[in-house]
Structure 1
Amino acid sequence: MDELIKNKINDFWSKKAIKTPNGQWVRWWQSPHIIRTINKKVSGVACNGFSQGLINLAKEHSKGRTYKRGISVGCGSGNKEMNLIQQGLLEEFTLYELAEERIKAGRKLAQQLGIEAKVNFIESDALKIETREASYDFVHWNKALHHMMDTEEAVKWSHHVLEEGGMFYMDDYVGLPGFSGQIQCLKL
């Protein structure tokens, strides 16, 4: 990823409001009914909590294992990753994000939760920095994989850095990759 693209990503996500001035935005992920419905479709249980259905499946699959080192790309403020630490699925996370304002918010949240020693925020492109094979036992993608310029390459990278027996955890949009196909879709 070249510097121009990285800077554009940083500018967009750093300026995008983390909270609205009046606090009145309603997003789908703020609706308890929608969250319970999604969790039921994912796990069979209409539970509360964003991505909790998938978290429950991950816990079930791991059979009580606590993963040692997780990595997340495009983590935003890292709240989803910190939730996994708090729920005992992971011990620590390396969190990659390109928007410095999101990182600042994440560091503040980690401090408030008392887990700042368990999260390491890095403002960079993980796919360029993290190249060591089998260096993590948990690779996390949550609402970020579809933003990658080459999703197939990102999944290959995930496999490369994931140690054998580790978990590939992906909760994401599964449609056309990146920014491709929008004009073709409009024509349909």
Structure 2
Amino acid sequence: MTAIDDQNTTDPAEETVTAPADHVDPAPNPHATQEQVEAALKDTKLAQVLYHDWEAETYDEKWSISFDERCIDYARGRLDKILPDAPLPYGRAMELGCGTGFFLLNLMQSGVAEKGSVTDLSPGMVKVALRNAENLGLDVDGRVADAESIPYEDDTFDLVVGHAVLHHIPDVEQSLREVLRVLKPGGRFVFAGEPSTAGDFYARWLSRATWWATTNITKLGPLKDWRRPQAELDESSRAAALEAVVDIHTFSPEDLERLATSAGAVQVESAAEELAAAMLGWPVRTFEAAVPAEKLGWGWAGFAFGGWKRMTWLDENVLRKIVPPKFFYNVLITGVKPEK
């Protein structure tokens, strides 16, 4: 992870992101000044840029993102859950708030779309997403974009997707209006991974408890080798402070249905997933962030992924039948742009 320091310098390796029509997007800024960080605490869009530029180069590692069968199956599973009979492939798809391209690039690898566009408010994320797309040999362009004012023409895309993005956007309804504007008539959007209000509550408390327990227990003599250097722990704490600013909303399925309908979408449907899986996943990810990476080998990776799969089975085959959707961690939403 790149530390936020007091020098606002640009790494010579950082390149501007060139967009269509000779437009040049701003370069990534992974080295924010302390003044910028302080300003970001009062400006959520600045916080989005600084936080995600800061994390862009290490984001895939932090969240165990890959572009292999594991994540291809996961991404496709989200689409199939909310849209099991999608008329594949879509011609051109866009990812809103793409991050490193996790959702769209893996969907494209599974045959969901032929051509893609990645957009994010963070130049650093767009740069990494385009690099990932190039490495995968996918036909993808990219733009630095504010989700409330998407820099593409009307009626451009057949599909718009996003994963864990709507909760970062100040005006979600306005962003959905923009999504509908850039969709072709009859085009569809699918957003997954949005935190529910109940899920966000228990995930944050589980994470805080895990962080406190791990960072204190590893102060003890026999376990000191399991403690990250204090500078790295302090850095993670600073990241958490900005993360609290960039995570703006939580939703119930009904909230997202209402916002999508108000924005003008038709055929609006929602779904929810991950309860037991989230209660395992958040402590696991927090523990991984609190201990040296070299302490965690393939055995841990097998436990984490295998445990998540078993808890997902429990969610889908047992808990989904008896627990109301609002208590699951992730909310999914889909809708269609009306035909003219």
Taking structure 2 as the reference length, what is the TM-score of the superposition? Answer: 0.39
Matched residue type, 2:175: A
Q: 1:79 to 1:48 in 2, by over 3 A?
A: closer
In structure 2, runs of 5+ residues without a counterpart are 1-42, 198-246, 251-340
- Tell me the secondary structure at the aligned position of residue 139 of structure 1: strand
Aligned mates of 2:177, 2:102 — CA distance in 1: 25
Instruction: Kindly indicate whether residue 185 of structure 2 is the aligned counterpart of residue 164 of structure 1.
Output: yes
Q: Match for 2:134 among 99, 102, 111?
A: 111
8 Å contact from structure 1 (residues 93, 120) kept in 2 = yes
The alignment covers a number of residue pairs equal to: 154
Paired residues for 1:62-77 under 5 Å: 62-63=86-87, 65-77=88-100
Taking structure 1 as the reference length, what is the TM-score of the superposition? Answer: 0.67
Q: 1:76 to 1:120 in 2, by over 3 A?
A: same
- Tell me the secondary structure at the aligned position of residue 58 of structure 2: coil
Q: CA deviation at 1:129?
A: 3.8
Matched residue type, 1:169: V
Q: 1:79 to 1:175 in 2, by over 3 A?
A: closer
What is residue 112 of structure 2 aligned with on the other side?
Answer: 89
8 Å contact from structure 1 (residues 103, 123) kept in 2 = yes
Aligned mates of 2:51, 2:143 — CA distance in 1: 18
Matched residue type, 1:56: D
8 Å contact from structure 1 (residues 145, 172) kept in 2 = no
What is residue 152 of structure 1 aligned with on the other side?
Answer: 173
In structure 1, runs of 5+ residues without a counterpart are 31-35, 37-46, 182-188
8 Å contact from structure 2 (residues 76, 107) kept in 1 = no
What is residue 78 of structure 1 aligned with on the other side?
Answer: 101
8 Å contact from structure 1 (residues 135, 163) kept in 2 = yes
8 Å contact from structure 2 (residues 48, 122) kept in 1 = yes
Larger radius of gyration: 2
What is residue 8 of structure 1 aligned with on the other side?
Answer: 47
Instruction: Kindly indicate whether residue 158 of structure 2 is the aligned counterpart of residue 137 of structure 1.
Output: yes
Aligned mates of 2:194, 2:56 — CA distance in 1: 21
Q: Match for 1:50 among 48, 64, 74?
A: 74
- Aligned CA RMSD, in angstroms, stands at 3.1
Q: 1:156 to 1:128 in 2, by over 3 A?
A: closer
CA deviation map 1:15-60 (0-9, x unaligned) = 126438xx6x6x5x78xxxxx9xxxxxxxxxx98333322334673
Q: CA deviation at 1:110?
A: 1.5
Q: CA deviation at 1:94?
A: 1.5
Q: 1:87 to 1:49 in 2, by over 3 A?
A: closer
